[in-house]
Every structure is written in structure tokens, then in C-alpha cells.
Amino acid sequence: MEMSEEKIKIKGENDGLMLTFPVDMSFCEIMEELGRKLESGSGFFLRGTLVRVPRDRFAKEELAEMQELFRTHGLICRLAKPEPAAPIAPVTERVQPVEEKKEQPELRQMLVIEKTLRGGQAVETEGSVIVFGNVNPGAQITAGGSVDIRGTCRGVVHAGAAGDSTAFIIADHLMPTQIRIANYVARSPDEPEDSGKAERAFVKDGQIVIEPIER
């Protein structure tokens, strides 16, 4: 799934997300695009997410710079897991994250769902959730962290279920039956309008606000 016109691609894994980059995209271009997305506050990544990058793509200094960029936005960047059948060059194997432990953000368990949630299906997790699919009417998500839906949301979504009012909900098309963030509740209007853009729901001034965003 492409995240932008620059062709940076994201793939869900069991413990987080894997990023891949075009071979002709320079390190400066990669950092510029990642920085723009992270600074936009559009929920490009959920805070506490484990993000993996290719093992053989970056020099040690480049990897350290990228890890620092993610760290400042509350994310953890690590190398991709080695392929079991493929030999790994020793110099690549020794490249390790450079953050000090005391500065490293807490790693939340990221639940990755690579399918559409259908009516009657329910998902519950203490961490954040990313769904590569739709959340249909009758489906429900309850998350201790934030929720990112790479599709249409028409079900019931509760983010920050343990009381975290800084959590948010993002969807390519946000037309839910009901959304909740911490103890705040909002219902979809009888005839919801599709803005044509991804939308983010978050708590502001004691109520849930929905605004369009750029992915």
C-alpha cells in the first residue's frame, strides 16, 4: 500500500510496520518525506509504533539519523528481521539502534489487521490498532491507544479506552456508527458526508472534533 506519491510503501507485520523505499530514492529524499509526514500530525504513524526498515539499505550513520527522527516523534525504528535462509553480512548484523534506553519511548504492542472487519466481529487490545481494510457496520474496535483505518470506517471504534484522551482515530473515510475517545462519545450524523479526504477524530476543548488530513 503506497503512503504517498513518493512511493514509500508500508506493510503490516505482527509487531509493527515495515517500510520499503524505491531504489532510486535518495536518503535525503527519504528523510525529507518522512519528516514531512511526521510533522504533519496526520497520524502517519501511531505513537509507540515499531517501524522496521530494510537491513541493507542504509549506512550506519544514516540509520542512526533515521532512528533519531522517529524517536523524537515517539516511535521506535529498527532493522528488518533477517531472512532465515539468507546469509547476513557481518557488518550489517552489527548495526544496532543508538538511542539510550532511558530516552527510548515505551513500545506499545501494535495490532496489525490485514483484512476488513465484518459485522459481528470485535477487536480489543491494550495498544494501538492499524487496519488495512474496512470496518463495516456491526464491527467494533476497542483500543487502549489510537486507531488507524486504511479504508472506510462504518462501525464502532473506541480509542483511548483506558482513559487516554490524547488518542485519536483516523480513517480514509470516516463514517462510523459511533466513535469514542476515552470517555468522550460522538455519533455519526444521519447522512454523513464523504469529504474525499482521510479524516482524524480527536478530543479538543472537551469534545470530539473531526478534521480532514493529508495522508
Question: How many residues can be counted in the chain?
Answer: 215
CA atoms within 13 A on the CB side of 9: 8
Boundaries of every domain in the chain = 9-103, 110-213
Question: What angle do the packed helices 60-72 and 27-39 form, to 10 degrees?
Answer: 10
Helix (H, G, I), strand (E, B) or coil at 150: strand
76/99 Cα distance (integer angstroms): 9
Strand 76-79 relative to strand 50-53, pairing = parallel
CATH T-level assignment (fold) for domain 9-103: Transcription Regulator spoIIAA (3.30.750)
The amino acid at residue 130 is: I
Phi, psi values for residue 60, rounded to 5°: -55, -45
**Would you give per-residue pLDDT tens digits along the chain (215 residues)?**
444 445 788 887 777 788 999 999 999 999 998 988 887 765 657 777 888 999 989 999 999 999 999 988 888 898 988 766 555 555 444 444 444 444 444 555 678 898 999 999 999 998 889 999 999 999 999 999 999 999 999 999 999 999 999 999 999 999 999 999 999 998 766 555 656 788 999 999 999 999 988 76
First to last CA, the chain: 12
DSSP for 33-58? HHHHHHHTTS-SS-TT-EEEE-TTSS
Specify the pLDDT at position 16.
Answer: 78
Specify the pLDDT at position 93.
Answer: 46
Please count the other Cβ atoms lying within 10 Å of the Cβ belonging to residue 197: 13
205/209 Cα distance (integer angstroms): 9
150/165 Cα distance (integer angstroms): 22
CATH T-level assignment (fold) for domain 110-213: Pectate Lyase C-like (2.160.20)
| Grid coordinates of 124 | 480489543
